[in-house]
Amino acid sequence: MVQTSTTWVNPLRDPRDKRLPLIAGPCSVVIFGVTGDLSRKKLMPAIYDLANRGLLPPGFSLVGFARRDWNSHDFGQVVHDAVKQYARTPFREEVWQHLAEGIRFVQGEFDDDAAFDTLAVTLGELDLTRGTGGNHAFYLSIPPGAFPTVLRQLHRSGLCADTGEAWRRVVIEKPFGHDLESALELNSLVGEVFPPSSVFRIDHYLGKETVQNLLAMRFANQLFEPIWNSNYVDHVQITQAEDIGVGGRAGYYDGIGAARDVIQNHLLQLLALTAMEEPVSFDPKDLRTEKAKVLSAVRTPTDAAAVGRDTARGQYAAGWQGGVKVPGYLEEDGISPSSTTETYAAVKLMIDTRRWAGVPFYLRTGKRLGKRVTEIAVVFKRAPHLPFAHTDTEELGSNALVIRVQPDEGITIRFGSKVPGPSMEVRDVNMDFSYGQSFTEASPEAYERLILDVLLGEPSLFPQDEEVELSWKILDPIEKVWGSMKTQPEPYLSGTWGPPSADVMMARDGRTWRRP
């Protein structure tokens, strides 16, 4: 193997062969917030899975930072248990032992100068003993309110200083602020500490194989592009539904709500990828340019009348989910009985471009809904002329192309087909592509792809300042009107598909929500 400061490159590999994944070069990952669910269930297992697939360098190191009274051995056991429980790939002792050699732990508070000085010493030792080469990624798996403190400490301790050949990068979890003003402040603060090329704002939806396959489907095939416009598309529905409640996230979720938690980032990113024009290339700059163009063209409801007409918000009430009686949102531990936080949000957005003029995009997200699913449904207009008797096509719906993001990743095309028999009866049928059936290799977890991209310095799947700010410009007017109402969101029974007002919103346009 030939070592470089950025990647490990196999000299036997044909450089023109893009099928083989790149391997990260010498580096370490420092996780702030290692005691949280995200770290335990996603980050630690993803790092092990990368190691198991041979995509991490021999001297890779993992450093945890928290206030727990742990040593490196204690932290190693925490990582071990998380990997055994949540890793996607099989547990192999030899892989674990090699990974465990590079595990370290630093105890301290975020405002503790001495702890960050110790972290600097620890990383320096890893550079010498593990050969990490001064290349360190700092993963902020922490509440947004702690971002400024940690960023200032990284700056004060010299951990983010540009050392020439080596790199320092920061990974920031959502939410990126709670409105446009706070996002601008956060972007300014991050920009004072790290250059733009070293900032990776992580949106795990963009790491999912099906989301990336949306780009392949659109731009690698001639089949879809001619009809991907307002001449043929009636509307687009983007759904992210969960069948769980807030659980242990009550402290984070209450006061933020469904729109800020999901629509501002995940769903608007899916909208941008669905509606964007073909980029000049898949270079990060070209890809981001086209997404930003779409977001800047989104027309959002702003006054109270428009928000009342084109949005819906709800809050789950007690009900039955999977045969189990579940509490309502106001009955959850840590939630105020008078909370006005929405657990369901739906919005209708228009895109003022030639391609999409007149085509509504309906975005919805919610907790305690009928099932866990994320999908993009492109619903086409009815054929302008049907040379059939009305009874022949009364069971025929609209053609649709549905990209299933999770959990059953794939694509479904719905179209009309004749029912076998002597009469001309046409009804809907589905043509289905499933990742699980078409490919022998299981799709990697989104965090695997994104963490590897951070270590490789590949920014294509990470939103930059402009996209974040444009997304808040879309959502802020809606949140402002909702906030002025000071009323409880409309209740909906757990296990259903949201509040009645969401169905009314669609009915005004003569449409209905899909039932995934």
Report the chain's mean pLDDT, rounded to a whole number.
Answer: 86
User: What domains appear along the chain, each with residue ranges and CATH number?
Assistant: 2-173 (3.40.50.720), 206-508 (3.30.360.10)
The rounded distance, in Å, linking the Cα atoms of 401 and 417 is 15
Mean of pLDDT values over 107-128:
94
Q: What percent of the chain has pLDDT over 70?
A: 89
First to last CA, the chain: 48
**Listed residue (509, 510, 488) closest to 499, CA to CA:** 488
Q: What is the reported pLDDT for 233? A: 95
Tokens coding 176: 């990126």
User: Which residue in the list 136, 266, 385, 390 is annotated as catalytic?
Assistant: 266
Per-residue model confidence as pLDDT tens digits over 432-463: 877 666 665 666 778 888 999 999 988 877 88
**Residues whose CB falls within 8 Å of the CB of residue 439, separated by 6 or more in sequence, listed in order:** none
Q: What is the reported pLDDT for 376? A: 95
Q: What is the reported pLDDT for 5? A: 39
Cβ-based burial of 389 (10 A; exposed 0-12, middle 13-18, buried ≥19): exposed
- Which amino acid is located at 276 in the chain? M
- Predicted TM-score (pTM) of this structure: 0.87
Per-residue model confidence as pLDDT tens digits over 473-500: 999 999 999 999 878 899 999 999 999 9
Q: What is the reported pLDDT for 424? A: 62
Mean of pLDDT values over 141-148:
85
Q: What is the reported pLDDT for 464? A: 83
Per-residue model confidence as pLDDT tens digits over 462-473: 888 889 999 999
Is 266 among the catalytic positions?
A: yes
Q: Residue 391 pLDDT > 70, yes or no?
A: no
**Which of 23-27, 250-254, 311-315 is predicted most confidently?**
311-315
Per-residue model confidence as pLDDT tens digits over 152-180: 999 999 998 877 789 999 999 877 888 89
Q: Residue 20 pLDDT > 80, yes or no?
A: no
The answer, yes or no, to whether the previous bond of 407 is cis (omega within 30 of 0) is: yes
Q: What is the reported pLDDT for 155? A: 93
